[in-house]
Amino acid sequence: MMTLAAEARAAFTETLPASTFMLDLGYITSTLHESYDNDGQRTPLIDTMERYDPGGGLQGTLRADVDVTYRIMAPQLRYGVFDFLTLVLAVPVVHKTTVWPRLSWESGDYQWTMGRSFTEEDFWQWAASMGQPTPGFQEGNRYTLADIIVGARYRFSDHLSALKDNGVGLAVTLKGALPTGTAKDPEEVVSIGTTNWDLHQGDIGVHLGVDKSFPQLLDDRLVLGLNLFYEVLYEREFKTPTGERHPLLLTQAPYAGERYRIDPGDFLGFALSADVVPFKGPALATWLSGHDLERALALPPLLTLRFEYSFTYLFQSEWSSDSALWDWNNEQRWRPGYKNALSATALISLLRLGSPLQLYATYRSLSLIPGRNSRATDLVTLGVRAPLKFW
């Protein structure tokens, strides 16, 4: 087990020892309330909608102050083929999603037939007469599979003694997604899906990771990392809303056609990280180390803190339907942009104490540093890892 010493200490280049499994069970809570527009200003997730009388004046403006929550179970299984090559399988399952549209109404023009402007109650009564219900709180996607992720990491610096001797790790990570997620319900105003497009993750990715440790200078209490990446999103086809359930808000198929396609645009970026060990903790000569104290001292420290900043550039999306105007309107919402993410992780490893468990908690925020044409998402992850070796 002593070869687990580097686990979780060099996240951009870490690999498992040969013939070793790592089971990682994480639970993610993702919350989203706003996005960033083309000027980097916070804006609601759904554009305001101005409603007009047929051939008449402005009834009023409909606004949505949407709250979205994803709760995701994210089990991963890693396997060390060799000390320098690890395979990964991740099978995320959405526990549930909730969407609260929180609609509000701003009255418009004076209506001479009523002797006043349309109130919110007036509007929804009129909408109901047209077959339009009031969008409300929705809970869905219970135990729904998201896109399965497969990946591999090759740490090629293991073959370069000059790098190993100086505490430098270099690794290439490849990942790909299987289209097992579920698209959103096109007939619901506030529906969300479980695909990588909904979660804003790449479908195919190439990452180059670099880590630098300081075993002599800083008593192996610091690892600095750099990750360069490029990720591709598949073009996707969706059914156009027909207005079957929301005729006033979602009657789009007559203009855009029965189906439309989206090329979401790719991702390009980098990440910087620092792993700090404030407390190595005691080491016990237990069965995990073969009752050898020296091997126990080589196991991961009791507490590791990880801090990371990442920048992601978002390429222009392209929409294809029967309506060039409809395409253009949607592309304005998904123009080129970027997102800035800050994250902090606390990892408690019990390996030194004789327990094959590692506990972790991560907070990741895209709302602390403004972005552009991106979502201001915040995530909290709680999880446990267990190394397994059968031969």
| Domains identified in the chain and CATH numbers | 2-388 (2.40.160.40)
As a whole number of angstroms, the distance between CA 52 and CA 348 comes to: 58
Specify whether the CB–CB gap between 76 and 171 falls below 8 A. no
The pLDDT profile of the chain, 391 residues, written as one tens digit per residue, is: 333 333 445 689 999 999 999 999 999 999 999 999 999 999 998 888 888 877 678 989 999 999 999 999 999 999 999 999 999 999 999 999 999 999 999 998 988 878 888 899 988 998 899 899 999 999 999 999 999 999 999 999 999 999 988 999 999 999 999 999 999 999 998 889 999 999 999 999 999 999 999 888 888 899 999 999 999 999 999 999 999 999 988 999 999 999 999 999 999 999 999 999 999 999 999 988 888 888 888 889 999 999 999 999 999 999 999 999 999 999 988 899 999 999 999 999 999 999 999 999 999 999 999 999 999 999 999 999 999 888 7
Which residues, in sequence order, are CB contacts of 187 under 8 Å at separation 6+?
241, 242, 243, 244, 245, 246, 250
User: 194-233: string of b/e by CB count within 10 Å (b at 16+)?
Assistant: bbbbbbbbbbebebbbbbbbeeeeeebbbbbbebebebbb
Would you state the pLDDT for residue 11? 80
For 91-129, letters b (16+ CB in 10 Å) and e give bbbbbebbbbbbbebebbeebeeeeebbeeebbbeebee
Q: Write out the two tokens for 292.
A: 């050898």
pTM: 0.91
Edge-first strand listing for the sheet containing 236-239: 236-239, 259-263, 318-320
pLDDT of residue 7: 42
Q: Cα–Cα distance between 30 and 351 in angstroms, integer?
A: 30
CA–CA separation, 78 and 358 (whole Å): 15
Phi and psi dihedrals of 43, rounded to 5?
Answer: -145, 155
Q: For the chain, give percent helix, strand, coil, nearest 5.
A: 15, 50, 40
Residue 325's identity, in one-letter code, is: L
CA distance 347 to 182: 32
Q: What are the tokens at 360?
A: 């972790």
Both tokens of residue 152? 């591999």
**Tokens representing 111?**
């209506």
Q: Is 100 helix (H, G, I), strand (E, B) or coil?
A: strand
Residue 34: HSE in the Cβ half-sphere, 13 Å Cα cutoff = 13
pLDDT for residue 5: 39
Sign, CA torsion 133/138/141/143: negative
